[in-house]
Amino acid sequence: DLFILVPKGQSREVFIKVLDCAKRVAGENYLEAYAEHPYIESNVEGFTVDFVPCFKVSSAEQAESSVDRTPFHTQYVKKHLTEETKREVRVLKRFMRGIGTYGAEIKVGGFSGYLCEVLILYYGSFINLLRSAADWKQNEVIDLENHFKGQTAEAKQIFHERLIVVDPVDKGRNVASAVKPEKLSEFIAASRQFLKNPRLEFFYPKPTKPLSFNTIARTMKSRGTTFVFLKTRAIQAVPDVLWGQLYRSQKALAKTLSGYSFSIVRHGVWSDEKSANIFLFEMSSHCLPAVERHTGPPVWKKGDCEKFLEKHLESKKTLSGPRIEDNHWIVDRQRKYINAVTLLREKLENDRKSLGIASMVSDAFTSSFEIWVNKEIKKFYIHNRDFAVFFTEFLKGKPRWLL
């Protein structure tokens, strides 16, 4: 990250001028993006470099964005880390990378580098951190600079995340706010397992070897469920934007399927960030009976009962009923969608807005998409090793560090 500081008081339009200069350094191979501030991402001599303009402020409290605050983080860490604690930080980062919890980028949703540094400064060493993390409770408060004078209840009133790490340079910020609950849980669980049975594999896990497709096919069949794969074309965006769009769309698609009574066992999303994205849904079944039971109001709600009867008594969708069971009106009606593939295809072709999927993903669906069920994924699986690794790990369903 290359931060380019401009005097506070300038309009944000100055960032565009700054980036015009940065583009000349970056060359032709760059991507324009926008988070809190506009920035560009480029490959310079084999390194991914983000050129990030921000305002120069006199204190972190005056920062208008997390980007403006970053130089103060750098100053704080340089001032307080010793050579010994720097080594401890490196060990922690390697451990977190090994267990899949390192990185605040949206794809990971884990611990940022700065958060790792603050944790080491607080606990003193990697092993002390793990011993403490093994006993962390919900809403654990870590206040390195003692901003709250030991009043953790006050901190919990301001911050509501499951891990609260008060920013040493800004009392009003939780450094751990971006950590997803599942990543926090994974770190706690991995800490316990490491303390019980320390192994090098926590730091350097063995690469996952993709299962043969014959094994994949047998595994899918043995589960007795249905796997539905939804593939879209590439989306041109920097990774943080891309994964934000993918995760939002994944939840929206899962909500749609559940809303039509399809039972989802698990779901996930994969992308190579270049040419393809795949949404994966494991369902109890992708087919449902033609009839569904619909429960109406209790009989003592007179007005609601009249509306229910008016709607269902002569409806062509009513297969049987209305009748009273357990004091409620009940009707058996024709299900709108009995096949998940039909549901997805119809919605994606004709009614994408109702799905609530993110705009870039919606645009990708506009041009083309494919839906595969179970073994229909074979060709893509065989020809895409990265996806094969993802799906192999999905089927195994446990972290690599858990023996």
Give the whole-angstrom CA distance, residue 133 versus residue 142.
Answer: 11
CA distance 102 to 65: 22
Indicate if the pLDDT at residue 34 is higher than 80: no
pLDDT digits 0-9 by tens, 204-219: 999 999 999 999 999 9
What is the model's pLDDT at position 12?
72
**For residue 10, what are the β-bridge partners?**
8
Which pLDDT does position 221 carry in this prediction? 95
* Residue 92 to residue 77: CA distance in whole angstroms: 15
Distance of CA 42 to the CA centre of its chain: 24
- Provide the pLDDT confidence category of residue 341 given band limits of 50, 70 and 90: very high
296 contact partners, CB below 8 Å, separation of at least 6: 304, 305, 308, 312, 322, 328, 329, 330, 331
Average pLDDT, the chain: 91
Residue-wise pLDDT for 161-201, tens only, equals 999 999 998 888 999 999 999 999 999 999 999 999 999 99
| Whole-number pLDDT of residue 60 | 67
Q: If pLDDT is split at 50, 70 and 90, which confidence band does 6 have?
A: confident
Mean pLDDT of 290-308: 91
| The pLDDT value given to residue 93 | 98
For the chain, domains (ranges, CATH) are 2-56 (3.30.460.10), 72-202 (1.10.1410.30), 213-287+338-396 (3.30.70.590), 291-334 (3.30.70)
**Cβ proximity of 238 and 51 under 8 Å:** no
Q: Predicted confidence band at 150 (pLDDT cuts at 50, 70, 90)?
A: confident
pLDDT single digits (tens) 45-99 = 888 888 888 888 777 676 677 777 888 888 899 999 999 999 999 999 999 999 9
The per-residue pLDDT for 35 is 67
> Residue 29 pLDDT > 90, yes or no?
no
Q: What is the mean pLDDT of residues 267-274?
A: 95
Torsion-angle region of 288 (φ positive above 0: left; ψ -120 to 50: alpha; else: beta): beta
- How many degrees, rounded to 5, is the angle at CA 366 between CA 364 and CA 371? 75
Q: What is the pLDDT of residue 143?
A: 92
Q: Which of 7-16, 158-167, 187-196, 308-317 shows the lowest mean pLDDT across its residues?
A: 7-16
* Residue 57 region by backbone torsions, left for phi larger than 0, else alpha for psi between -120 and 50, else beta: beta
